[in-house]
């Protein structure tokens, strides 16, 4: 963040999409101490409920049990953690949109200004089937249609104009997705 000119101590909010380690472990030290204790951390209610359920641990794989145990050992004590509902503004100009599949409570965000908006999903619509918690045998093209469907439904509902989309696990350097008719096309952003 410092390389981008962002001072971590001056963040007012952190919005979480899902609880996989590469998305939440940066909020903690190796000893489970909270790093951003003075920053509001907003998490999706369904995601928190899934990973925070002590009764659900036995049904999880060993790797997922590790995530759930760490979530349960830390997040309930955080005074700055806020669970948010989907289809609501999390902070001004940032609306939570339910996009389950990558995880049961995965949430994407429509970030809007007066003149434009961006769809932030933090996952790729073309992720390998093994990385998404969706029915076995679901093809990448079906997953892409579902992702496009979430974005298109959001636009059709009148909740904002969709100009472009950004993601985290895109599989290419600096990816960008631009609206193309009824769907979206991925392209690399040049620097």
Cα–Cα distances (Å) from 141 to 43, 69, 111, 126, 128, in that order, read: 29, 34, 25, 7, 11
Residue 59 pLDDT > 60: yes
What integer pLDDT is reported at residue 114 of this predicted model?
82
**pLDDT class for 182, splitting at 50, 70, 90?**
low
Residues 74 and 125 in one domain: no
Q: How many CA atoms lie within 13 A of 112 on its CB side?
A: 21
> What's the total number of domains in the chain?
2
> Which two tokens mark 64?
């997922």
Query: Of the candidates 50, 84, 118, which is a domain's last residue?
Result: 84
What integer pLDDT is reported at residue 183 of this predicted model?
54
pTM of the model: 0.69
Residues 33 and 77 in one domain: yes
Sign of CA dihedral 126, 190, 185, 22: positive
The Cα 84–Cα 90 span in angstroms is 6
């Amino acid at each position: 963040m410092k390389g981008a000119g962002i001072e971590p101590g001056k963040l007012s909010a952190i919005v979480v999409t899902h609880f996989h380690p590469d998305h939440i472990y940066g909020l903690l030290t190796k000893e489970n101490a909270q790093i951003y204790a003075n920053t509001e951390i907003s998490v999706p209610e369904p995601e928190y409920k899934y990973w925070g359920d002590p009764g659900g641990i036995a049904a999880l794989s060993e790797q997922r049990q590790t995530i759930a145990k760490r979530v349960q050992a830390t997040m309930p004590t955080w005074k700055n953690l806020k669970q948010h509902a989907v289809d609501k503004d999390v902070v001004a100009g940032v609306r939570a949109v339910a996009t389950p599949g990558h995880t049961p409570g995965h949430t994407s965000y429509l970030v809007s200004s007066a003149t434009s908006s961006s769809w932030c999903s933090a996952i790729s619509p073309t992720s390998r089937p093994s990385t998404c918690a969706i029915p076995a045998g679901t093809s990448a093209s079906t997953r892409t249609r579902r992702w496009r469907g979430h974005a298109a439904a959001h636009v059709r509902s009148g909740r904002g104009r969709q100009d472009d989309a950004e993601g985290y696990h895109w599989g290419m350097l600096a990816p960008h997705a631009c609206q193309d008719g009824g769907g979206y096309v991925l392209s690399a952003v040049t620097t």
